Amino acid sequence: MSGFDPAWLDLRSGADEAARDGDLLTKAVAFASALPSPLIVDLGAGTGASTRVLAPHLPSARWRLVDGDKELLRIAAQRCPDAEIVPLDLASSPLPIRDARLVTASALLDLVSAQWIERLVRDVVSGGAAFYGVLSFDGLMSWSPEHPLDEDVRRAFNRHQRSDKGFGLSLGGDAVVYARECFANAGYAIEMTESPWRLGPRDMMLKRQLIKGIASAAEEAGQAGTAEWSVFRLDHLATGSCRIGHQDLFASPAS
């Protein structure tokens, strides 16, 4: 899996925080808080955004940030100075979640394969941990004003999402539902809810990069007319809006 641009991660952080479901956050915090000094492992941690969201609610927690991108982890170490930093290829290495109370992942599940999710579930369940996975793209997007190519671009982008991102063929928008089924089959209690981005005129910088990224992926997937679609969307940056679908998932041992 290739690394992400730190500028992109910073740009999206506000939309991520606004979209994250508050009830599931509260339940994840409550589960972790049952131990006096819980270990929380963040997989695909990037620059540590999830840790920065959760840490104020869990002042006694121990943090382990895991990612394959050393540059992102260098930034994470600066922003989360008390965290253990673990550079690791998540695609091929054993997951370092032994003794974890809570395993977290943000915007990761839609990039991985069914086999990787199955391994994640086995490892989480074997240790009796809970899993808190947020902001997994669910394949849905809508735009205002509408354009005739909106649906074609969405489908092409979803095809691109299901290509190999370094973990085998990705599940893309189906990933969070598959993870839910795997945890449920393992006897875990499951809660899942929508956590969409809702972007408007105040999110022009994020929308600009989002439109460019969607158009590029759709073109790579063979969609014609993406340049026309992109120009239309960029022309409406100041007035247009969009909804990009995500799902949050909390899976915990059944009581």
Q: For 21-72, how does the pLDDT look when each residue is reduced to its tens digit (9 = 90+)?
A: 999 999 999 999 999 999 999 999 999 999 999 999 999 999 999 999 999 9
By the 8 A CB rule, do 80 and 48 touch?
Answer: yes
Say if strands 241-253 and 188-194 run parallel, antiparallel, or are unpaired. Answer: antiparallel
Q: What tokens were used for 69?
A: 């991108």
What CATH number has the domain bearing residue 167?
3.40.50.150
Give CA separation, 37 vs 60, 62, 117, 166, 240, in Å: 5, 6, 27, 34, 46
What one-character DSSP code corresponds to residue 108? -
Q: For 1-23, how does the pLDDT look when each residue is reduced to its tens digit (9 = 90+)?
A: 445 789 999 999 999 999 999 99
Cis preceding linkage at 145, omega within 30:
yes
Is pLDDT at 229 greater than 60 in this prediction?
yes
Q: How confident is the model at residue 92 (pLDDT cuts 50, 70, 90)?
A: confident
Q: Which helix (H) or strand (E) holds 211?
A: helix 204-220
The per-residue pLDDT for 3 is: 58
The per-residue pLDDT for 1 is: 43
| Number of structural domains found in the chain | 1
- The reply to whether 137 falls in a domain is yes
Global pTM? 0.95
By the 8 A CB rule, do 122 and 187 touch?
Answer: no
The per-residue pLDDT for 65 is: 98
Give CA separation, 114 vs 109, 110, 180, 201, 211, in Å: 9, 10, 12, 37, 28
- The reply to whether 114 falls in a domain is yes
State the sign of the Cα–Cα–Cα–Cα dihedral 136, 44, 62, 51.
negative
Q: Give the chain's mean pLDDT.
A: 96
- The reply to whether 218 falls in a domain is no
92-110: average pLDDT: 95
Q: What tokens were used for 169?
A: 């063929």
The per-residue pLDDT for 4 is: 77
The per-residue pLDDT for 2 is: 44
The per-residue pLDDT for 110 is: 97
- The reply to whether 84 falls in a domain is yes
- The reply to whether 104 falls in a domain is yes
- The reply to whether 221 falls in a domain is no
Is pLDDT at 209 greater than 80 in this prediction?
yes
- The reply to whether 29 falls in a domain is yes
- The reply to whether 220 falls in a domain is no
89-116: average pLDDT: 95
Domain span including residue 102 = 6-141+163-198+244-253
The per-residue pLDDT for 95 is: 95
Taking alpha carbons only, the member of 91, 34, 97, 33 closest to residue 65 is 97
Q: For 129-176, how does the pLDDT look when each residue is reduced to its tens digit (9 = 90+)?
A: 999 999 999 999 999 999 999 999 999 999 999 999 999 999 999 999
